[in-house]
Chains A and B, each alone.
Chain A
Amino acid sequence: MSGVGTAVVAAAAPTEAVGNPVVNITIFLLFVAVTLVVVVRASRNNKTAADYYAAGRSFTGPQNGTAIAGDYLSAASFLGIAGAIAVNGYDGFLYSIGFLVAWLVALLLVAELLRNTGKFTMADVLSFRLRQGPVRVAAATSTLAVSFFYLLAQMAGAGGLVALLLNVQSRAGQSLVIAVVGALMIVYVLVGGMKGTTWVQIIKATLLIAGAGVMTVWVLAKVGFNLSRLLGTAVETAGNPDLLGPMVQYGASDLTKLNFISLALALVLGTAGLPHVLMRFYTVPTAKEARRSVQWAISLIGLFYLFTLVLGFGAMAYVGQERILAAPGGVNSAAPLLAFELGGVLLLGIIAAVAFATILAVVAGLTITAAASFAHDIYASVIKKGEGNPDAEVKVARRTVVVIGVVSILGGIVANGQNIAFLVALAFAVAASANLPTILYSLFWARFNTRGALFSMWGGLISCIVLIALSPTVSGAETSMIPTADFDVFPLANPGIVSIPLAFFLGWIGTVTSRGSANHYSKQAEMEVRSLTGAGAEKATSH
């Protein structure tokens, strides 16, 4: 099998593509056709705002947990982590652990309390007992920022993938594919709303985990199900035994190690502040189902990251680092190349289709979150002061979907080929700095008030973006976005280690230097009783 694979790769080398683009496209179109049917069927009952934003709160915990895994296991986790392990060894494994452990914050502190207090968006909870207008504007701004960074990373990643899997080499051709992916996503979200989007996530997560599972078993079978032998083969091929230990990527200096610690902090605290993850908790009928969602998500995500450990070292062993780095898409091509090495054209086609489905589904999930936040938090609550009608609100949300879709297509085309890996890390850093402190304070600290929330959210958001702008990511190094300029006064590419403590501190200082409103403690009582007991929580709509 591997001999044949090598021959085909060698033959295909001049065009730098592997596999058969026709097979890849056919399998992907099959996925699109199936999911479109599901989305159209799911959309039949979309009547109210609760249907459109929260899927009528009718999903079960296991369904929603699978959809959460679908939302969370983006192309960055699937292709990115497998690739990071294949190229940097143990350091890639460190990412997956941060991404997994982070779910405990969501499970223990956030999911159920949020489900009990909110309605559609993260801002529902943050503004529950604070001044609606300014808090919602801040929360919606950070929601839009996180969604935009994350969206851009997904769309730009699609470009490299297209080059690898569909053998589309020209920039115009890649742009066209990005536009098609964006247009499909708009259709899904417009037609299906949250219900359709959730089903797309469920189908995609199932395919992704099954595909990765098959590949894992395949790799393990080659080494007699002996992990030690796999690791040995991998570092032998790579010719570097250090890859089995940490800090190949981050160990150059104390500064790079600090940068790694900063990233680890943002990963573990960011997940429970990601708006598109938080919004998923509203799609289930009760807090208990929200808990089951997280339980399922943790199981599936944990399992998947164990698979990526095997796939990463498998790619190191059987594809080899040189071929991975030389392929279009670079690091991201490790998993697809391994699929080709193992199962030839067909398995590559399946994995390629799954990778596209992943981008499509994650982009859809982000878009509906951003659109809901704009329509619900800014249009309905701030512009219309809560007096507009819900139908108009959903109409605004749908229009916002189109706008966000177009912006992300254009952004993806512009960012195609740029080094945008930092955008996902930035999204986590913003989530951990701008969102999580205020979520935790408002759920657990009775005294917390509006000024604290505004200080913390704006402070967290602005400090993240400013620190990134002043970091070597943007200027001062060869790999920077603007390599010619030189204003990198902040030495870390990951701002979390500064911005997260700063945001917690600002939330505290803002609160203790101001007084709450007259009904502060009565609203606090309502929120606390609701959050723990579920009294008055939004019910599922029945059809």
Chain B
Amino acid sequence: MSTTHDPDRSGKNSLPEQTTWQEVQDSADFQALRRSFRRFVFPMTVAFLVWYSAYVLLAAYATDFFKIEVFGNVNVGILFGLGQFLSTALITIAYVRWTGRNLDDQAAEIGSRVRLDEAHR
């Protein structure tokens, strides 16, 4: 952790400007952050795309199934549609909570190690 960046090691101009970025990218902390971020967002993306595709395909090819009335005039199709609203809300809430716990502080801490005066033109 502390080995990724030492402000006194490089002197003034001895490092090419991108080195600090690469050092941070190679650090175990950053790799772990990236892994945990991707482990959350990729499966979640696949999940809602599959769920949405299922909905679209059912609407197109299982019209009779969508027309089955569940209560009164409210049918399976309307409930599936409202289910898409619900899943969108739940994924949004889950993501906001997850980032609050697992991303924001870690990202800020790792980001603060980048030496911007050199790395940021």
Residues of A at the B interface (CB closer than 8 Å) are: 90, 93-94, 97-98, 100-101, 103-105, 107-109, 226-229, 231-232, 235, 242, 244-247, 250-251, 257, 260-261, 264, 268, 288, 291, 294-295, 298-299, 302, 305-306, 444, 519, 521-523, 525-526, 528-530, 532-536
Contact = CB atoms under 8 A, between A and B. Distances in A.
Contact of A519 (B18, B75, B96, B120): B18
B57 interface: yes
Contacts of A100: 84-85, 88
Interface in B62-91: 63-64, 66-67, 71-75, 77-78, 81, 84-85, 88-89, 91
Contacts of A107: 91-92, 95
A-B complex: 10 closest residue pairs judged by Cβ atoms: A228-B72, A533-B111, A535-B111, A522-B18, A245-B67, A231-B73, A526-B21, A246-B59, A535-B114, A525-B25
A526 B22 CA distance: 7
Q: Most chain-B CB neighbours within 10 Å: which of A97, A244, A291, A298?
A: A97
19 contacts: A94-B56, A94-B59, A97-B84, A98-B52, A105-B45, A226-B72, A245-B63, A268-B49, A291-B96, A295-B92, A299-B89, A519-B18, A522-B19, A529-B110, A532-B33, A535-B24, A535-B110, A535-B111, A535-B116
Given A526-B119, A533-B110, 5 more contacts: A90-B77, A94-B81, A97-B84, A227-B72, A533-B33
Given A97-B85, A250-B60, A529 B24 contact: yes
Contacts of B24: 525, 529, 533, 535
Contacts of A522: 16, 18-19, 21-22
Contacts of A529: 21, 24-25, 30, 110-111, 114
A533 B107 contact: yes
A203 to B, nearest CB: 25
A523 B56 CA distance: 40
Contact of A104 (B91, B111, B116): B91
A231 B67 CA distance: 13
B41 interface: yes
B30 A260 contact: no
B57 to A, nearest CB: 7
Given A268-B49, A522-B18, A533-B108, A227 B119 contact: no
B73 A235 contact: yes
A288 B111 CA distance: 14
B120 A536 contact: yes
A231 B74 contact: yes
Contacts of B67: 242, 244-245
Contact of A298 (B89, B108, B116): B89
A306 B60 contact: no
A104 B88 contact: yes
B59 A302 contact: no
A235 B73 CA distance: 10
B10 to A, nearest CB: 16
A242 B81 CA distance: 16
Given A246-B77, A261-B57, A522-B21, A101 B88 contact: yes
B68 to A, nearest CB: 9
A163 B113 CA distance: 61
Contacts of B13: none
Interface in B1-33: 16, 18-19, 21-22, 24-26, 30, 33
Nearest to B18: A522
A108 B34 contact: no
Nearest to A534: B111
Nearest to B103: A532
A459 B30 CA distance: 35
Contact of A247 (B60, B71, B85, B110): B60
B73 A244 contact: yes
Contacts of B73: 228-229, 231-232, 235, 244
B13 to A, nearest CB: 17
B88 A298 contact: yes
Contacts of B16: 522
B25 A264 contact: no
B93 to A, nearest CB: 9
Contacts of A299: 89, 92
Contacts of A291: 95-96, 99
B21 to A, nearest CB: 4
B88 A302 contact: yes
Contacts of A244: 67, 73, 75, 77-78
Contacts of A246: 59-60, 63, 66, 77
